[in-house]
Structure 1
Amino acid sequence: MNEFSTIPVEELKEDKILSQLVPEMTVAEYERFIDSVKTSGINTPIHINNDMTILDGRHRVKACKELGIREIDCLVHNFDKTQTVNFVRDTAIERRNLTPAQRADIVLKSSDLVESIEAKARENQGKRKDLTSGPAGHDVEKGKTRKQLADIAGVGEGTMQRMMRAKKEDEELYEKVVKGEVSPWKSETILIERKKSNVKKVDFPKSRPISEDERKLFMAIDNMDLNFNQIIYYVKTNQEKLYEAICDTYDKRYDFWVTVL
């Protein structure tokens, strides 16, 4: 059960890693917030962990320090590290006016952080299999599926797919998507065009006659190139519908993923 307490703001501390999960207020947003605090004070308790780490409300604490407010009402939780990350994630998604890309970013970063925490815990546990496996000997869950992540973020599965791909393939492009400079759909187009430009045409050898097997091989390679470009064309032409259909088809093809993985 959560404990309610009034705590001196100087005793509270910010976890920089947790703070990175949640976008900062813009300058304009913070100025409006400060004006509100000057007029009405802090009306909503912040959330902290039992070690005085701020879980939700760092901007309120910052405002208190700037305005000379010495104490603030807090709801005190008793969370472990994973629960802490999940709480910060869920609170940020529910309360902030965020874009779909920002919500997806929070979920992806929190998922990475939880996996890091759990991996470190497994490493510290050493050979104690009873702590890392279920009763049937299976490993504990190592990560959520794309659909689960999308549901947590409250975004479409296609949006989450594009965010994950951009994050994996081009961190700079990914940050532009999070900042709203590039849409998730546009980032997908950029990555596809980049792959298209990297496709090199394979020419038949001219220095000697080629065998029938070689001819068939080169034709197959050319056809692969042709098919790839056809996919790019149809995806761009049909936009969201075809892309979602392709993702849905491959998600349901167990044999495809077994081959790839």
Structure 2
Amino acid sequence: MSFIAIDRVSIQPNRRPLNDQKVAELMQSIKANGLLNPITLDQNFNLVAGLHRLTACKLLGLEQIEYRIIAYQDVDHARLAEIDENLIRNELEALERAELWLERDQILERIGLRAQSGENQYTKKGGESISPPPKTTVQLAQEAGYNKRTYQLGKQIAKNIDPEVKEVIKKTPIAKSHSTLLKIARAGSKEREQAEQAEQKAQEAKHQQKQEEMETQAKLAAEARTKLKEKQLIALQSSTAQKQAKQSIRSARTQVEKKINTTPILPGAELGDEWILGRHLIYCGDTAEDKFIGLLPSNAALAIATLSFEWNHDYLIDEAHIVAVLAREGHIQDFCARHRMPFRFEWVLGELYVGIYSQDPILKPEKPVGIEGVEGIVAYLISLYTKHDNFILTPSLGHAEVLIACERMGRICFAGDKATENVDRAIARWQKWTGQEAKKEKHCYT
């Protein structure tokens, strides 16, 4: 049994990130039972395996830790052992695992133990020393416990996702989803190809000592990489929004609506009324008129209009960063003829046309999958373009889809409708959903 002072252990900078929960669990275990498994070091006291155990002991105030030494011929072999240790423990998220697969592949290639495509691993000539034959992709996949295709796609994820995008993904649910990570990795494939071509030309110009050409190609490569990162970020945001929207709809369908002890107010809305519903406001009246516009906050993140009325609402583009218009067949032509808002992109989701408008350029995400119906699309748009406590505007209530989604997702809704029956229905639905009473007020938010 060998012990070493904790402060003598060297930790290399490319370690996988710590899992705080795992460290806390290890601290409890070490307190109760002591350290059951020693950490692994190389001959230079560099940590090979056991970062969580080492951290737990350090946080417990221990000065020494039990260790075992495995001698490696160089840094690459030591790192391979560390990677294998992490892969064997099988506590990795999909993104972490993919990064380790790629790094392991690169190290094996560097030390001559990675078979190249089309190469016979058993007839390749080596040096005088005897070494194992290079490993094929199939062998590496089998060692990892996966098939060849999954292994190759995993390396594609690790190689193609921008480093900054990876940092955003880490410690989120997306990091666990192989299929979503692959979708993000494939976003911006055109820009990736442009960047790689420009980078290759820049290297050629450097070797030929063509300074101006090298700088031009380097600039083109940097621009393409920036666009690639932007497209991958919007793919990440869209995937996250789809996940949140589906969860929101599922929770809405399973939630038992609350009952209030007293009889809820029967709205009986009249034109000109302003109703306060918790943090939300509903105006009963023409939402194209100045009175409603004067009630709106000037910094709304999103406006969602479900078309069932004559369009006179271009003002929304000045009140919200993004305007989303949902229309069914029969309303699209009139809307397109009337509006003058800056168009960005459109989708057709099921039976609904969705148009996105903004003063600022917006990248178009891939068409969302499995998101249909007004409630699903509203939840997706809110997840994609807003954050908690953001303002959302809607100039028509419909069946209160936007209002209820805002209540459910922690946003603040400013809504209006000149049809009193729509206002009554929205208030009644909100009261039933929340178990709270709406309050009728006048001259609020002025």
The DSSP-based 3-state class of the residue aligned with 2:174 is coil
Classify 1:194/1:66 alpha carbon distance in 2 versus 1 (closer, same or farther; 3 Å): closer
Task: Look up the match of 1:94.
Answer: 88
Task: Look up the match of 1:30.
Answer: 23
Give me the whole-angstrom Cα distance separating, in 2, the residues matched to 1:153 and 1:176. Answer: 26
Q: Is residue 2:126 matched to residue 1:134?
A: yes
Classify 1:146/1:114 alpha carbon distance in 2 versus 1 (closer, same or farther; 3 Å): closer
The DSSP-based 3-state class of the residue aligned with 1:72 is strand
How far did residue 175 of structure 1 move?
Answer: 6.2
Give me the whole-angstrom Cα distance separating, in 1, the residues matched to 2:51 and 2:187. Answer: 41
Gaps of 5+ in 2: 113-124, 191-368, 370-446
How far did residue 23 of structure 1 move?
Answer: 4.4
Which of the residues 94, 104, 107 maps onto 2:101? 107
Classify 1:192/1:48 alpha carbon distance in 2 versus 1 (closer, same or farther; 3 Å): closer
The DSSP-based 3-state class of the residue aligned with 2:72 is coil
Give me the whole-angstrom Cα distance separating, in 2, the residues matched to 1:150 and 1:160. Answer: 6
**1:197-242: CA deviation from partner (whole Å, max 9, x where unpaired):** xxxxxxxxxxxxxxxxxxxxxxxxxxxxxxxxxxxxxxx9xxxxxx
Gaps of 5+ in 1: 120-132, 197-235, 237-261
Is the CA contact 2:94–2:178 (under 8 Å) kept in the aligned structure 1? no
Give me the whole-angstrom Cα distance separating, in 2, the residues matched to 1:41 and 1:87. Answer: 25
Task: Look up the match of 1:212.
Answer: none
Q: Is residue 2:4 matched to residue 1:13?
A: no
Which of the residues 147, 152, 157 maps onto 2:143? 152
How far did residue 14 of structure 1 move?
Answer: 0.9
Is the CA contact 1:105–1:178 (under 8 Å) kept in the aligned structure 2? no
Q: How does 1:213-232 map to 2 (within 5 A)?
A: none
Is the CA contact 1:55–1:88 (under 8 Å) kept in the aligned structure 2? yes
**1:64-94: CA deviation from partner (whole Å, max 9, x where unpaired):** 2222212221111111223212211111111
How far did residue 115 of structure 1 move?
Answer: 4.5
Classify 1:100/1:170 alpha carbon distance in 2 versus 1 (closer, same or farther; 3 Å): closer
Task: Look up the match of 2:43.
Answer: 50
Classify 1:110/1:24 alpha carbon distance in 2 versus 1 (closer, same or farther; 3 Å): farther
Which structure would you say has the larger Rg? 2
Which of the residues 15, 22, 32 maps onto 1:39? 32
Is the CA contact 1:100–1:155 (under 8 Å) kept in the aligned structure 2? no
> In angstroms, what is the RMSD of aligned CA positions?
3.6
Could you tell me which amino acid in structure 1 is paired with residue 84 of structure 2? D
Indicate the structure whose relative CO is greater, using CA pairs within 8 Å and at least 6 residues apart. Answer: 1
**1:78-136: CA deviation from partner (whole Å, max 9, x where unpaired):** 112232122111111112422455333212123334555x49xxxxxxxxxxxxx7259
Aligned residues, how many?
175
What TM-score, normalized to structure 2?
Answer: 0.34
Q: How does 1:173-252 map to 2 (within 5 A)?
A: 180-181=173-174, 183-189=177-183
The DSSP-based 3-state class of the residue aligned with 1:98 is coil
Which of the residues 53, 57, 77 maps onto 2:70? 77
Higher strand share: 2
Q: How does 1:60-71 map to 2 (within 5 A)?
A: 60-71=53-64
Could you tell me which amino acid in structure 1 is paired with residue 69 of structure 2? V
Classify 1:41/1:191 alpha carbon distance in 2 versus 1 (closer, same or farther; 3 Å): closer
Give me the whole-angstrom Cα distance separating, in 2, the residues matched to 1:109 and 1:29. Answer: 24
Give me the whole-angstrom Cα distance separating, in 2, the residues matched to 1:61 and 1:194. Answer: 40
Classify 1:107/1:65 alpha carbon distance in 2 versus 1 (closer, same or farther; 3 Å): same
Could you tell me which amino acid in structure 1 is paired with residue 38 of structure 2? P
Identity %: 23
Task: Look up the match of 1:166.
Answer: 157
Is the CA contact 2:161–2:184 (under 8 Å) kept in the aligned structure 1? no
Is the CA contact 1:7–1:71 (under 8 Å) kept in the aligned structure 2? yes
Is the CA contact 2:23–2:53 (under 8 Å) kept in the aligned structure 1? no
Give me the whole-angstrom Cα distance separating, in 1, the residues matched to 2:70 and 2:187. Answer: 48
Could you tell me which amino acid in structure 2 is paired with residue 29 of structure 1? K
**1:139-163: CA deviation from partner (whole Å, max 9, x where unpaired):** x98x854333322322232222222
Higher helix share: 1
Is the CA contact 2:27–2:57 (under 8 Å) kept in the aligned structure 1? no
Could you tell me which amino acid in structure 1 is paired with residue 83 of structure 2? R
**1:234-258: CA deviation from partner (whole Å, max 9, x where unpaired):** xx9xxxxxxxxxxxxxxxxxxxxxx
How far did residue 188 of structure 1 move?
Answer: 4.0
Could you tell me which amino acid in structure 2 is paired with residue 154 of structure 1? G
Could you tell me which amino acid in structure 2 is paired with residue 41 of structure 1? G
Could you tell me which amino acid in structure 2 is paired with residue 165 of structure 1? Q
